[in-house]
Amino acid sequence: MSKLLRVWAPGRINLIGEHTDHAGGFALPAAIDFGITIDVGARATDITLVSAGYGATSVGADGQGPPAQGWARYVQAVAIELAMLGRPPVGLQGSIESNLPAGKGVSSSAALEVAVALALCAVAEYEIPPLDLALACQRAELRAVGVPCGILDQAACLLGRRGAAILIDCSTLEHESVPVPEQAGFLLIDSGIERSLENTDYGKRKDELARAIAGAHDALSARRLRHLHTENERVHAFAKALASDNLERAGQLMSESHASLRDDFEVSVPELDRIVQQAEQGGAYGARMHGGGFGGAVLVLADVQSLSTLAARFPGRTLLVSPGDGAGVSALAD
């Protein structure tokens, strides 16, 4: 390979539409300006990646070999899924860097999956449509850690556009760009509760919702289904609010989303609830728990000029994020 390759894959925020993607609902994510970079130095027999923070891993070019551990599970799972689609077994040597906080609901695992997938496709000169790549990475997540995630994270990583969110129908994968007003500022606030979704009731909630969709009539099923229906409605209302620069309405919808996630879907925890309340009292337009729940972070919508003041209420726990470009591959000079 005459050129070095650099792959960029961002994390994502989800403005609204939580726990809807795995039920074929609607969501409004955006790629962010934090992510994972892989610099590829050469083709190789195996896939060898070195991370300054997490060590090195080496797996077969098509994922063969003993089960990997740690973050290497994602690398191996992506290689297996791509091999099943027909990618030639070409490996690579590269280094990996990330400025994404892990376990905070910004989809660090999806960003890793997409970055690895793009790098593997590039060195093998194997082309695959973006949404097919997203689906392969979604399957890799399940293969790697058993989390039955929807398509939201991987799709947002690949489809993101600077200054815009993506309105996506998770049942058909139809999507459209929704510009985000320049005055809209987004802040992630760390709850301090570390969690991995495979060690929470995330999968249980998905099963409960599937049971409700299938026609169960008990009270729990009614609450799960009510969240899905009302959250889908909030997604469309939120997109309309952005289109009309109505951030007050958008913030109200975010707060309603949190209440639904707390009461009907039961994936919030008291620490998240307190942060939402504190952010609202501090002048935010709205706030809600972000990601799969059971810990992680809160997403806050505020006027961009008030973000620093709001962040000061949560010292050492905030991350300012903006809608950014999606994943891509670029060539660098030798």
Q: List, by residue number, the catalytic residues.
A: 153
Residue 71's alpha-carbon distances to 12, 112, 223, in angstroms, are 19, 9, 35
Per-residue tokens: 113: 């999956």
| Helix/strand/coil percent split, the chain, to 5 | 40, 25, 35
Helix (H), strand (E) at residue 123: helix 108-123
Sheet strands (E) in 110-171: 164-169
User: Residue 95 phi/psi, 5° resolution?
Assistant: -120, 150
Per-residue tokens: 31: 């790629």
Cβ pair 207, 222 in contact under 8 A:
no
What DSSP designation does 214 have?
Answer: T
d(CA 251, CA 272): 17
Instruction: Give the DSSP letter string of 31-58.
Output: EEEEEEEEEEEEEESEEEEEETTTEEEE
Cβ pair 72, 60 in contact under 8 A:
no
d(CA 310, CA 182): 18
Cβ pair 311, 280 in contact under 8 A:
no
d(CA 209, CA 225): 6
Instruction: Give the DSSP letter string of 53-97.
Output: TTEEEEEETTS-SSPP-TTHHHHHHHHHHHHHHT----EEEEEEE
